[in-house]
Amino acid sequence: MTGDSPNRLLDAGFFSRVVDLVAHPIFVKDRSFRFVVLNQALCEMVGYPREEMLGKTDFDFFPETEARFFRSKDMELFRSGGPVAVDEEPITDATGKVHVLATTKVALRDDSGAVTHLVGIIHDITRLKEVEGALRRNNEELEARVLERTAALEAAQRELLRKERLAILGNLAGGLAHQVRNPLGAIANATALLRRALADLKRPEVDSALEVIHEEVFRAARTINGLLDFARTRAPDRWPVLVADLVRNALESEVVPKWIVVRVEVPSKLRVMVDPTQVEGAIGNLVHNAVEAMPERGTLTIRARATGDQVILEVHDTGAGIAEEVRGRLFEPLVSSKPLGLGLGLSTARTFVEGQGGSIGVESTPEAGTRFSIELPVTDGD
């Protein structure tokens, strides 16, 4: 007889040569979980020669955690006799590199139908998982950038709307202030004239009435000045100035009742590069707020310290604190924690401070007081 018979074509050597031509890793294990067939692709993937692996098990080559997982899937196949698919599993090769595999295990049966071996066919999906991971990270980075850009655009839009509102409100405030200022001046002058003319009457009720008029005119004038400060915000004229001088001038511009203890902790040589008139106005507004927060007693503390290229100036009172629902909008115009407040002082203070290239913030605890913090740039060369 010439030629090869079918049985001859399927002998072990021929089968091994055919399996070695398959690009995907393939292995065969017996019921003792020993390798009996391995193709060249599998040996190249795990980094162990075929001669070393034949007759041995996963526990001889791979980390115990991986070997236990492989064994559990092998046992599942021998119990059920059906195919077992593992979508994703790690395997560590001889060099320590971890591959990610997708494996299908099928049963090999004898003529009686009994399962004698399992055949494993592997797809190395390591590169695919790396690409998926890179794509996922890129998507996450893109989403983060989109969120960041969206937040920046929303913040810019809010800032633009805030400035537009301030400009409109400033024009209104300026016009209103000029309309009211002249009548207030006339009332003040008339009150002074009446006080001199009635000085000889010795009438306490008259003196009291005139004092009320005087105080209310003073209060209204302060409100008008606040409106004008808000309306006439100009570009700052910055130059080096001592922080101690700013604080002293701000305190002198405010009336601090005798029941409030004032503590000033400012280094004598600490300087900032600011417009002194504007910053004194900002500090004065904070001092005024602190005084109003302590109507009966309390301590007003003003301290400053240098940190890097900034100076942090704090104005701290021991008043009742600011309600949480107000705190987040405290620097917006027409927002005030005081029943009769216009809510322009802190908005003006913020405008003044930001004009110097600085910032202003607030911390407040109910019944424990409020601390305003101003950050200002240090003068060049210091």
DSSP 260-322: EEEEEE--TT-EEEE-HHHHHHHHHHHHHHHHHH-SS-EEEEEEEEEETTEEEEEEEE-SS--
The label of the residue with tokens 């001046």 reads: 185
pLDDT at 20: 84
C-alpha distance from residue 354 to each of 50, 235, 246, 278 (Å): 74, 11, 16, 10
Residue 31 to residue 78: CA distance in whole angstroms = 8
pLDDT at 163: 65
pLDDT at 276: 92
Residue 254 to residue 212: CA distance in whole angstroms = 20
pLDDT at 165: 62
Sequential pLDDT tens for the chain (382 residues): 444 444 544 466 677 788 888 889 999 999 999 999 999 999 999 999 999 999 999 999 999 999 999 999 999 999 999 999 999 999 999 999 999 999 999 999 999 999 999 999 999 999 999 999 899 999 999 999 999 999 888 888 877 766 666 566 555 555 655 566 667 777 878 777 777 777 777 777 777 777 778 777 766 666 666 555 555 566 788 899 999 999 999 999 888 999 999 999 999 999 999 999 889 989 998 998 899 889 888 999 999 999 988 999 999 999 888 877 776 667 776 555 554 444 567 877 888 899 889 999 999 888 788 999 999 998 654 4
Rg (CA), the chain: 42
Strand partners, 375: 312, 359
- Retrieve residue 206's tokens: 């008259």
Residue 382 to residue 380: CA distance in whole angstroms = 6
Count CB neighbours of 151 within 10 A.
Answer: 10
Residue 89, H or E segment: strand 84-92
For residue 298, give every residue at least 6 positions away whose Cβ sits within 8 Å of its Cβ, in sequence order, or none.
Answer: 259, 260, 261, 317, 318, 319, 369
pLDDT at 179: 62
Residue 191 to residue 158: CA distance in whole angstroms = 46
Domains of the chain, first to last: 6-124 (3.30.450.20), 143-231 (1.10.287.130), 239-377 (3.30.565.10)
**What's the maximum distance between 2 C-alpha atoms anywhere in the chain?**
153
Measured in whole angstroms, the distance separating CA 79 from the mean position of its chain's CA atoms is 55
The label of the residue with tokens 């306490």 reads: 204
Q: Is the pTM of this model over 0.85?
A: no
